[in-house]
Amino acid sequence: MSIDHSGDRQESADFIDRIQKKEKLKLGAGRETDGSIWSGLGMFGMVGWSVAVPTLLGAALGSWLDKKKYHPSFSWTLTLLMAGLVTGSVIAWYWISKENKEMHKKSEDNDE
């Protein structure tokens, strides 16, 4: 007399699959909620610094050029300040778009 254990194996495999899916969901949810405030503040700081630093560097360089009498009919300070602002905005846009792609990728991975 032989006993068929194939049904038991299938049930245990289904059980393991369900546990693994729940574990993935919990781990994914934990990652998103644990650092969301700090992550948001970090991104806010990153955007702020990426705009502020090039803007201030441009203004400082322009001011130095104006003091050294390299000034034609326009202001180097204002010109380089605006160039720094544009550069900083491009850098901030890059970081935000990169973070957005990572968030969408994580949500797609969680959906699977």
What average pLDDT does this structure show over 50-75?
88
- Nearest residue to 110 (alpha-carbon basis) of 16, 25, 19: 25
CA distance 83 to 15: 60
| Entry pTM | 0.58
Q: How confident is the model at residue 71 (pLDDT cuts 50, 70, 90)?
A: low
As a whole number, the mean pLDDT across the chain is 79
- 15: enclosing H helix or E strand: helix 6-34
